[in-house]
Amino acid sequence: MVINFAAGPAKLPEEVLQEVQKNLINCNGSGISVMEMSHRSSNYAKIHDLAIADLRELLNIPKNYKVLLMQGGGTGQFAAVAMNLIGSTGTADYVITGSWSSKAAKEAAQYGKVNAVLPKFDKYVDVPRQTKWKLDPNASYVYYCDNETVEGVEFDFIPEVGNVPLACDMSSNFLSRPFDVSKFGLIFAGAQKNIGPAGVTIIIVREDLIGKHLKLTPSVLNFELMDKNNSLLNTPPTFGIYVMGLVLQWIKRNGGVAGMSQLANAKSKLIYDIINSSNGFYYCPVESRVRSHMNVPFRIGSAAGNDALEKEFLAKAEAEGMIQLKGHRSVGGIRASIYNAVTLDETQKLAKLMLAFYENNKN
């Protein structure tokens, strides 16, 4: 048995994959695969509309918010967010707490002025409290990344930014914990972490923010055009949306977002408790209050890591069927991504290995 701890594309629920397999060549009695369906057909419309309806239900999305299903992943939205929102004043605030918010800020700087709310850090291990933020009252929006996949930093609060729209990248913790959609102007999430295969990007945007795009905005990144066409302006990633819809139904069957949150808390606590009780053998650099429930980075042997021990641990993990645990190349070490589809039993197997490895190498 293989346990996939990848940061993305990530593990999908096994029962969802079984459903996909069963219906791959005859989707919902249509006689053809969903990959062959016209995106204008009534068969596909049911899949498309149900996925959006289920998402609205899971997150209790207010009626004055639009749900768009787009392409281009998070990187595409780095540009799309700026192109669609920055035109109000020509400037935007960016809260940079890791690699992905940093990349988003660089992308946005091509389309307007970007104000870095925080000073540049050598390492991203914390989310400074808002008393240290330098917000621009003239900003068109305030942008942040709720969970930094590379560094394992996750916000423990929703920023309060007054009347300025709050824009958030939730790609790697979307549907893993409840939140109030009405506190945001815009939320986006690439599907490939928690809700489906790579290729689909969900955008939840307040309707009063639509229609303010820059003239240079390409049609495929234009929120107004996507909204007017029910996300069918061009051929959408139909297969990805189909699988995403099945994942949303799986989440509903398993306690909804609250159920996912309870599971995330249990899994992450299991791993962090081992790290905290290892007398420094395992080391997580992230401040405890903002440690991610989705991506747990750690080193072995010291804060800088012991290459030999880490290679040995990764080899043992792979021998036991636990794959893709190597940390991101920019930070090294080990990273366990425990998204919604990773079960508690699977996480316990990792915990068992960590405990055994500690006992065998602590001296």
Active site annotation includes 120: no
How far apart CA 264 and CA 270 sit, in angstroms, is: 10
CA distance 263 to 174: 14
- Is 193 designated active site? yes
Identify the active-site residue in 54, 93, 146, 193.
Answer: 193
Annotation says 113 is catalytic? no
Beta strand segments in 11-106, E: 65-70, 91-95
Catalytic-role residue among 11, 66, 100, 146? 100
In contact, 108 and 221? CB cutoff 8 Å = no
From the candidates 11, 169, 250, 326, which is the catalytic residue? 169
The H or E element containing residue 55 is: helix 42-59
Query: What is the DSSP track for 275-313?
Result: HHTSTTSEE--S-GGGB-SSEEEEEESSSS--HHHHHHH
Residue 93: burial class (beta carbons within 10 Å; 0-12, 13-18, 19+) = buried
Q: What SS3 state is found at 38? A: coil
Catalytic residue ranges = 100, 169, 193
